[in-house]
Amino acid sequence: MKKTDRIVVAGAGGFIAGNLIKRLVGKGFTNIRAVDIKFIEQWYQTTDGVENVADCDLKEKDNCYRVCKGAVEVYNLAADMGGMGFIESHRAECMLSVLINTHMLMAARDVGKVERYFYASSACAYNTTLQTDAAVSALKESDAYPAMAEDGYGWEKLFSERMCRHFREDYGIQTRVARFHNVYGPFGTWDGGREKAPAAIWRKVLQAMDSGSGEIEIWGDGEQTRSFMYIDDCLKGVDMLTHGDFVDPLNIGSAELVSINQLVDYAEQIGKVKLKRKYNLGAPKGVRGRNSDNALIRKVFGWEPSTPLREGLAKTYAWITTQYETRKAGGKVVE
C-alpha cells in the first residue's frame, strides 16, 4: 500500500477508530478520510492532516457510496453501541447498525478499488449458552456456532461477519473480521450511559473520592468475569489482521481474566483508596463469564494482546482523571 492511498475510517469520532487514525497518521499515511455521524465537537479526538466528514449517517447508502469513493482500504468501526447498560436497553438500535456494514460493503464493491475491508465484530457474537459460568472456558473462534449470540447487538455482529464472508467469496472484496473482547484506553467514553466497566468504575472511584461518600456501586455481585484489552494491543492486532492472509473471524482480545471485583481492586490500588462496595443485583450484567481463547491468533501471527491490565488501567485512569478535573473546573470535555 502507498502512503498516499485513500483510507476510509468509519466511526472516526469514536474510541477505537479515533485512536486508529492517530496510529495511521503516525505511520505516514496522508490520505485518510474519517467519517462519523456525530458533529465534530462530539468526536473524542481529531488528528491533523485528516479529512474529517462529520454529521454523516452511514446507515444511508448514498453517504457510504460518497465517502468510499477512491478508497483502497476501508475500516468499519462505526456502530451504535455501548456497555451492557446500553446494549441491553437499545437492542433495535444496535441491530440497525447492520445497515452501516451492508451499505459500506456495497460501496466498497461498487465505488472503490478496495484491497482490504476491516470489520469490527465483537465477543458478543459468541454463543451465550457457553458463558453461564464465571470460571469460563475461553471462547475459541468456532464457539460462535451453533449460534445464540447476545440478543440485539451480538446478532447484528454475527450477521455482519457473515455478510463480510460472502462479499469476499462472491465479489472478491478482501474482508477481515476481528472479534474484539472489551477494549479500553484513553479517548473513550467514560460517562453518559455508553461507557464500559473499566471507565465506569474509575469514574465512580473519582466521584466517591470527590464527594467523600466512600462508597461504590457495582453492577451485579461483582463475580462476573471478563478480559480487557488495552487499545495499543487492539490496534496492533487490527493492523496484522487487515494486512495478513487469514480470512476468517479472529479473536483480538486479552486472555487475562478478572472478575469485576478484581477490577475494582485494581482501581482502588491505583486511586490509593478503599471503598465500601454496594452491589446492585438488578443492574445489567451481561453474561456470567467471558474470556478470549488466543490459540488461533498465536498460531496465525505468533502474537497475542499482552499489555498487563494493571498497566493499561493506570494509563487510562490518568487520562480519565484529567477529563474529570477539566469538567469539574467548567472546562469542555467529550464524555
Which residues contact ligand NAD by CB under 6 A?
A: 11, 13-17, 36-38, 57-59, 77-81, 100, 120, 122, 180, 182-183, 189, 196
Q: What's the min distance (Å) between Cβ of 203 and ligand NAD?
A: 16
Q: What's the min distance (Å) between Cβ of 178 and ligand NAD?
A: 8
Q: Which residue number places its CB atom closest to ligand NAD?
A: 14
Q: At 167, list the grid cell.
A: 462479499
CB 17 within 8 A of CB 45: no
117 labelled catalytic: no
Q: Which is nearer to ligand NAD, 181 or 208 (CB)?
A: 181
In angstroms, the CA 248 to CA 321 distance is 39
Given 75, 117, 153, 184, which residue is catalytic? 153
Q: Which is nearer to ligand NAD, 80 or 293 (CB)?
A: 80
Q: At 183, list the grid cell.
A: 477494549
Q: What's the min distance (Å) between Cβ of 191 and ligand NAD?
A: 13
Q: What's the min distance (Å) between Cβ of 148 and ligand NAD?
A: 18
Q: Which is nearer to ligand NAD, 97 or 174 (CB)?
A: 97
Q: Which is nearer to ligand NAD, 79 or 138 (CB)?
A: 79
Q: Which is nearer to ligand NAD, 122 or 174 (CB)?
A: 122
Q: Which of 220, 131, 121 is nearest to 176 (CA)?
A: 121
Q: Which is nearer to ligand NAD, 57 or 239 (CB)?
A: 57
Q: What's the min distance (Å) between Cβ of 328 and ligand NAD?
A: 23
Q: What's the min distance (Å) between Cβ of 78 and ligand NAD?
A: 4
Q: Which is nearer to ligand NAD, 73 or 275 (CB)?
A: 73
Return the HEC string of the chain.
Answer: CCCCCEEEEECCCCHHHHHHHHHHHHCCCCCEEEECCCCHHHCCCCCCCCEEECCCCCCCHHHHHHHCCCEEEEEECCCCCCCHHHHCCCHHHHHCCHHHHHHHHHHHHHCCCCCEEEEEEEHHHCCHHHCCCCCCCCECHHHHCCCCCCCCHHHHHHHHHHHHHHHHHHHCCCEEEEEECCEECCCCCCCCCCCCHHHHHHHHHHHHHHHCCCEEEEECCCCCEEECEEHHHHHHHHHHHHHCCCCCCEEECCCCEEEHHHHHHHHHHHHCCCCEEEEECCCCCCCCECCECCHHHHHHHCCCCCCCHHHHHHHHHHHHHHHHHHHHCCCCCCC
Task: Kindly compute the dihedral angle of the four CA atoms of residues 52, 54, 59, 63, in this order, to the nearest 10 degrees.
Answer: -60
Q: What's the min distance (Å) between Cβ of 151 and ligand NAD?
A: 15
Give the active site residues.
153
